[in-house]
Amino acid sequence: MTGVRRYFEDFHVGESFTTPEIEVTTDEIVDFATRFDPQFFHTDPESAHASVFGEHVASGWHTAALTMRLWHDHGPPVQGGLIGLGVEDLRWGPLRGGDRIHVVGEVIETRPSSSGAPRGVVRLRLRTLSHRDVEVQHMVAAILVPARGH
Amino acid sequence: MTGVRRYFEDFHVGESFTTPEIEVTTDEIVDFATRFDPQFFHTDPESAHASVFGEHVASGWHTAALTMRLWHDHGPPVQGGLIGLGVEDLRWGPLRGGDRIHVVGEVIETRPSSSGAPRGVVRLRLRTLSHRDVEVQHMVAAILVPARGH
């Protein structure tokens, strides 16, 4: 599910893609959390063991940002770019420093514009999985995709 | 809706909070996007004008991360921290460099654990608004909150 930039007509329910893996480091987890989500279970690998997680874990928003990067780099290129309309059912599992993660995406719906405009909505389920076989993120994302010839 | 760290029993439907404003710079938008969402309408303020947005805008995941920071710093402190169970209905509007944003949160549901465990789920609607009165993000987030005495 890669190659030339796709139009709405080029997406089909059931298609899927799998990205390569990237490794996530403890330093990256601490850096992101320090900037955006400075809770001790994200910023302090030592004291995190006393948290409800029992270990040092990434902010879910960091996992989301890393997922976006993998999707951008390795998902199907879309004409005009990945224009996100919204996300449903975003959930997280524990992402640790040293984990290697990849994303598995699947097209679950294609819906032409109800107004008849030359575009449509593509809904994808994106699962982010670690090498420990933990689902560190699940979401359903809707993107706006132009129709061919527009 | 600030003050001492809250337990599940301390949350009530209809309560709300409003954070102070922060300003978001074009440089920050470019930096985040370069790392996590390197699409030209996020990374290049010049060429972004030719995009579907017609202007340079932040990655939605940047808006989400900034929203988390405002919520963390200025929302009601929660015993054990903000433990996100998941997010529904995450949507974005255009966030530009120079925008000042704040978050308005409202408790929309409190639900004791169905298993009888000493905790509950609090659902909040979090709207992120710019000084131009644009809703740059909307989401419903569920957090896990311990019950008093635990």
What ipTM, to 2 d.p.? 0.95
Query: What's the mean pLDDT in A54-79?
Result: 97
H-type alpha helices, B1-150: 26-36, 40-43, 60-74
B111: closest CA among B79, B147, B135? B147
pLDDT band at A150 (very low <50, low <70, confident <90, very high): low
Query: What's the mean pLDDT in B103-119?
Result: 94
Residue A35 token pair: 């900037």
Spatial distance between the Cα atoms of A102 and A18, rounded to a whole number of angstroms: 7
- φ and ψ at residue B19, rounded to 5 degrees: -85, 165
Amino acid at residue number A37: D
- Inter-residue contact B13 to B109 (CB < 8 Å): yes
Q: Cβ atoms within 10 A of the Cβ of B18, count?
A: 16
Residues of B within 8 A of A51 (CB-CB) are 80-81
Which of B37, B59, B91 is closest, CB to CB, to A86? B91
User: Å from B142 to nearest chain A CA?
Assistant: 10
Residues of B within 8 A of A91 (CB-CB) are 85-87
Q: How far is CA B12 from the centre of its chain?
A: 19
Q: What pLDDT, on the 0 to 100 scale, is given for residue B4?
A: 85
Cα first-last separation, chain B: 22
A52 touches chain B (CB under 8 A): yes
A70: closest CA among A21, A113, A138? A21
- Inter-residue contact A64 to A90 (CB < 8 Å): yes
How do residues B32-85 score in pLDDT, each as one tens digit? 999 999 999 999 999 999 999 999 999 999 999 999 999 999 999 999 999 999
User: Å from B30 to nearest chain A CA?
Assistant: 14
CB-CB under 8 Å, A36 with B66: yes
Length of chain A: 150
- Strand B16-18, strand B83-92: pairing: unpaired
- Inter-residue contact B90 to B138 (CB < 8 Å): yes
Which of B37, B40, B90 is closest, CB to CB, to A90? B90
Residue A21 in this model has a pLDDT that exceeds 60:
yes
Q: What pLDDT, on the 0 to 100 scale, is given for residue A1?
A: 55
pLDDT band at B1 (very low <50, low <70, confident <90, very high): low
| DSSP string covering A61-88 | HHHHHHHHHHHHHHS--BTT--EEEEEE
Spatial distance between the Cα atoms of A21 and B24, rounded to a whole number of angstroms: 32
**Beta partners for residue A135, in sequence order:** A129
How do residues A89-129 score in pLDDT, each as one tens digit? 999 999 999 999 999 999 999 999 888 889 999 999 999 99
Reported as type and span, the H/E element at residue A121 is strand A119-130
Q: What pLDDT, on the 0 to 100 scale, is given for residue B149?
A: 76
How do residues A126-143 score in pLDDT, each as one tens digit? 999 999 999 999 999 999
Q: Is the pTM of this model over 0.90?
A: yes
Nearest Cα residue in chain B from A67: B36
CB-CB under 8 Å, A39 with B80: no
Residue A47 in this model has a pLDDT that exceeds 70:
yes
Residue A36 in this model has a pLDDT that exceeds 90:
yes
